[in-house]
Structure 1
Amino acid sequence: MELGPDEQAKLAQLKRVKRLATGVLIACFVLFVAARASSAAFPQWAPTLGFIAAFAEAATIGGLADWYAVVVLFKHPAGLKIPHTAIIPANQQRIADNLGQFLERNFLSQGVVREKLQQMDFAAHIVTWLGDREKSQELSNFVVRLVPDILAAIEESGFKTFGAKHIGKQLLKTDIAPVATKLIDSFVKDGRYQILLDEIIDALDDVMHDEATLKSIQKRVAEELPTLLYVFQADSLIIKRIVSASGGLLKDVKEDPNHPLREEFQELFENYVERMKSSRRFGRRVERLKADLLGNPEIASLADGVWSDLGAYIAKDAQRQNPALAQQLTGMLVGLARQLEKDEKLRTTINEGMVSALDSLVADQKSNVSAFVSDQVRSWDFRHLVTIIEANVGRDLQYIRFNGMIIGGIAGLILHALDISILL
């Protein structure tokens, strides 16, 4: 532990106050001696000098007593090892134990910690922090630059191979047919099949207007027509009618969300899903497909290639001044902050979770914290610590000496007055 400039300045102030207190104490003693000596030389002033002497005598005694009381807290007075002096250094072990127990009982008790944690809005801090794009950018850059090292550590530790084997074994044991049917069922119930239908319509429309496709259809139609109709180019007319009718139908289906064809498409999907749910044949096909995929060495090679390419891309991207992944992650974090700001229920859940987690953590570790504090106090250089304590509170303790001299002097006056009244 080193003394900082502020503590050094406080020590300088303490020395000045000590010198002043000592000077006042010496002045009281000199005043007492002078008053006693003068009372014999000037009998006419004896009553007044008696009060002065009584005040100075009691003030000197009070100042000495309080000087002793202040000094014995930190050191032996005048270097004399009197019992029960240098109280703080002499009780280092006991102070260490008591301080650790005091901290555990009064600051780390479960009720106190939970009450304090419940006053904190952790979610608001998260929103404020992540909502600041610069802070989210710093966090994103840190994460992106850390990812290549994590991937390299996974590669070197063999965890990737272990994980791949373990996941493969679990997949072989898992029946994924129900999962597949649930996904498809969700796809239908959520209406996402409409997106698929729109994609099919767009694809058919592209096909209907593709020159190569039209020529192929026209050739096929011409081969089927009688020669007489071919002479009159009926094939071109038929193709135009087909394209026109098909294009109109596709346009109507795409523009009308309630078109009958869409209903037919939905019914087709729903019936197909229902059949799959109870179809053992579908389940066997899914299991065979799963086994073929997991047992195919090309899939494993492809996975290794994807892993290597992913690691190379992330490592290369992390070296850029503004990594693309960091930019994407920053946007995600800022967006998350905005969503969290709007979602009061989620904020409440986060706060409750943080309170429970931190409260449990403190409850589990408070004994270790108490032991750590005790060990730290035991390891301190108490001579240096006493200097720091004196620097911070010693100046106020010195004023006890002034108060002692004043209170002692007043008590001396009162006692002297009582003594005179009794004699009278």
Structure 2
Amino acid sequence: MVTATPVSTAPADRDAERRRALRRMKLLATSLLAVAAVIFAVSFALQDRYPWLGFVRAAAEGAMVGALADWFAVTALFRYPLGLRIPHTAIIPTRKDEIGETLGEFVETEFLSDDVVATRLAAYDVSGAVSRWLMEPGNAQRVVAEASGAVVGLAGLLDDDRMREAVEAVVRTHVIAPEWAPPIGRLGERILASGGHHDAVDLLLDRLDDWLVIHPDALSNLVSGRLPSWMPSFVDRLVDERVHQELRRFVADVRNDPTHRARRALDGYLAELSDRLQHDPETIAGLEAAKARAFDDPRIRELAASAWSAARTAAVDALSDPDGVVRQRASAALADAAARVTADPQLRASLDERISGAARYLVSTYRHDIASVITETVRAWDPAETTDKIETQVGRDLQFIRINGTVVGALAGLAIYTVATLVAGAF
């Protein structure tokens, strides 16, 4: 049984095969030149004895001229022919940088223009194609799995100490360092102006009343404990019950009356506090001092360490479990979004327009940088390496120019000699 040898796709193997093919084609083209030279020599020597060999000599002569001319043209692209520094030869190694710049400009103007990108994207239903692909079984899960693996891998590469330092720096710079008082005061003003604090007060009063109902003995001895010791115990109980009832009645009155004096007093206090937090240096300094005491250096480091460790552990655990809630919900959400896009032509059109706009923006903003990658890469190449790379890639095809030149030269030489013979015979 014959076993087929697998074809290697490694770049080095492909380059080696291209070099072998290039050598074979060079040998073939050179052999044709040698054959033409031998035929020319033989026919030239015998044409007086055999006049018809004049046609053969002319064809061979034209073949040699064509072969030599095209050999010179092909060779001049990569090196100096015969080592002679003839002007406008060795074009690739001597003009490598200019070729790179020209190629970069060509890519920038012909491939990375706004019109080209817009036209190409308009020909595709990008959002529809992506959404249909995501709706196929397993594809949404695959995307989530790949993204989860990337996040988990990235988390594993991060240094815990450096990340703690980064979190601490972020907390210190963006949370601790800025003044808290003025923003809190402005927020308080907006809440008071919109009346949003009333719901919070109502909720607090409801919870207070619930607590009083659940803990009827919470106020025991609060007042009765200050009565004379000779008072009967039932009087103490009556006093405590009365205080409890009056407190619940007061809470209910405040809860049910939006204009209650206690509410107005609270509104006035909060308004004054909001103003002082913004404009009173003493109040601002007091809050900043309290903040500094609460977030001293050890506490900041502890907060940063615990925040990073907790976030990292939670993310890795959630994303590492294929059957976990996070990945399952992410897959379901992705598939649901894809279904919505597929079923809504207007949504697809809107998404395609946004994708096209984003692509045009990226191209118009970064096309020069993208094209400069080509220019800088070519500029960084060694001239000899550049010549070898290009000749390896296209040299085999260029040898056909030499072969075609040999054939065309032979036909041209034969045609010219034939016409000249006919014209001379006519006169």
Tell me the TM-score normalised to structure 1 length. Answer: 0.65
CA–CA distance in 1 between the matches of 2:126 and 2:198? 37
Deviation, 1:7, is 1.3
Residues 100 and 374 of structure 1 are in contact (CA less than 8 Å); yes or no, is this contact kept in structure 2?
yes
Mapped pair 1:86 → 2:94: no
Establish whether residue 137 from structure 1 lines up as the match of residue 142 from structure 2. no
Deviation at 1:340, TM superposition (A): 2.1
Partner of 1:422: 423
Shift of 1:347: 6.0
When structure 1 is superposed on structure 2, of 386-395 and 172-181 the one drifting more is 172-181
Deviating more after overlay: 120-129 vs 98-107: 120-129
Distance 2:194 2:352 in 1: 34
C-alpha distance in 2 between matches for 1:149 and 1:348: 47
CA separation of 1:68 and 1:287: change in aligned 2, threshold 3 A:
same
Alpha-carbon distance change, 331 to 69 in structure 1, aligned in 2, over 3 angstroms: same
Q: Deviations over 1:258-277 (max 9, x none)?
A: xxxxxxxxxx99x96xx79x
- For the residues of structure 2 that align with 1:66 and 1:15, how far apart are their CA atoms? 17
Indicate whether 1:407 and 2:408 are aligned: yes
CA 1:339/1:398 → structure 2, altered by over 3 Å: closer, same or farther?
same
From 121, 129, 140, the equivalent of 2:126 is: 121
CA contact (8 A) 1:148 1:314 kept: no
Cα distance in 2, alignment partners of residues 50 and 78 from structure 1: 31
Secondary structure, aligned partner of 1:4 = helix
Aligned ranges 1:64-83 → 2 under 5 Å: 64-83=68-87
Q: Is the contact made by 2:318 and 2:325 (CA closer than 8 Å) also made in structure 1?
A: no
C-alpha distance in 2 between matches for 1:157 and 1:102: 46
Return the offset for 1:103.
2.6
Partner deviation per Cα, 1:10-42 (whole Å, 9 max, x = no partner): 1111111111111111111111111122233xx
* CA pair 406-143 structure 1, distance change in 2 beyond 3 A: closer
CA deviation after TM superposition for structure 1 residue 327, in Å: 4.3
The amino acid that maps onto 2:357 is S
The aligned amino acid for 1:76 is Y
The structure-2 alpha-carbon separation of the partners of 1:307 and 1:381, relative to structure 1 and needing over 3 Å to count, comes to: closer
Mapped to 2, the partners of 1:326 and 1:364 lie a distance apart of 42
User: Which of the residues 184, 188, 191 maps onto 1:172?
Assistant: 184
Say if 2:114 is the partner of 1:110.
yes
Q: Which moved more, 1:2-11 or 1:63-72?
A: 2-11
Take 1:322 and 1:372, find their aligned partners in 2: how far apart are those partners? 36
Residue pair 2:78, 2:93 contacting (<8 A) in 1 also: yes
Distance 1:153 1:187, change over 3 A: same
**Aligned 8 A contact 2:128 2:348 in 1:** yes
Question: Alpha-carbon deviation of 1:396?
Answer: 1.1
Pair 308,423 (structure 1): closer, same or farther in 2 beyond 3 Å: closer
Q: Which has the higher helix share?
A: 1
Distance 1:180 1:139, change over 3 A: farther
Q: Do the aligned partners of residues 320 and 329 (structure 1) sit closer, same or farther apart at CA in structure 2, a change above 3 Å counting?
A: closer
Q: Is the 8 A contact 1:108 1:362 kept in 2?
A: yes
| Secondary structure at the counterpart of residue 187 of structure 2 | coil
Measured in 1, the distance between the counterparts of 2:417 and 2:23 equals 35
Further displaced range: 155-164 or 297-306: 297-306
Q: Is the 8 A contact 2:47 2:54 kept in 1?
A: yes
Kept in 2: contact 1:32–1:57 (CA 8 A): yes
Structure 1 residues 397 and 143, CA, compared in 2 at 3 Å: closer, same or farther?
closer
Of 332-341 and 114-123, more deviation after overlay is shown by 114-123
Name the counterpart of 2:63: 59
Give the Cα separation in 1 of the matches to 2:369 and 2:43: 63
Q: CA deviation at 1:104?
A: 2.4
Counterpart position of 2:175: 163
Alignment correspondent of 2:389: 388
Superposed CA offset, 1:292-315 (max 9, x none): 997766994699677664444335
- Report what 1:260 is aligned to: none
Within 2, Cα distance between the matches of 1:186 and 1:405? 97
Does the aligned pair in 1 maintain the 2:94–2:383 contact within 8 Å?
Answer: no
Of 39, 46, 51, which residue of structure 2 is paired with 1:46?
51
- Residue 336 (structure 1) aligns with: 333
Q: Deviation of residue 150 (structure 1)?
A: 7.5
2:45 alignment partner, one of 27, 34, 37: 37
Q: What is residue 18 of structure 1 aligned with on the other side?
A: 26
**Unaligned runs of at least 5 residues, structure 2:** 1-9, 217-254, 278-282
SS of match in other structure, 1:84: coil
Cα drift, residue 374 of structure 1: 2.6
Distance in 2 of aligned mates of 1:350 and 1:167: 41
Q: Deviations over 1:177-213 (max 9, x none)?
A: 654786969999xxxx9xx9xx99xxx9xxx9x9x99
Asked if 1 retains the 8 angstrom alpha-carbon contact of 2:145 and 2:322, the reply is no
The secondary structure found in structure 2 opposite 1:175 is helix
What is the SS of the residue equivalent to 1:176? helix
2:183 alignment partner AA = L
* Contact 1:340–1:346 (Cα < 8 Å) also in 2: no
**Equivalent residue letter for 2:360:** D
How many pairs align? 346
Residue pair 2:114, 2:364 contacting (<8 A) in 1 also = yes
State the 1:140 CA deviation: 4.5
Which amino acid in the other structure matches residue 61 of structure 1?
V
Using the aligned pairs only, state the percent identity: 25
* Alpha carbons of structure 1 residues 182 and 316: separation in structure 2 relative to 1, 3 Å: same
- 1:4 to 1:28, Cα distance in 2 relative to 1, 3 A: same
**1:299-318 superposed matches below 5 A:** 300=294, 309-317=306-314
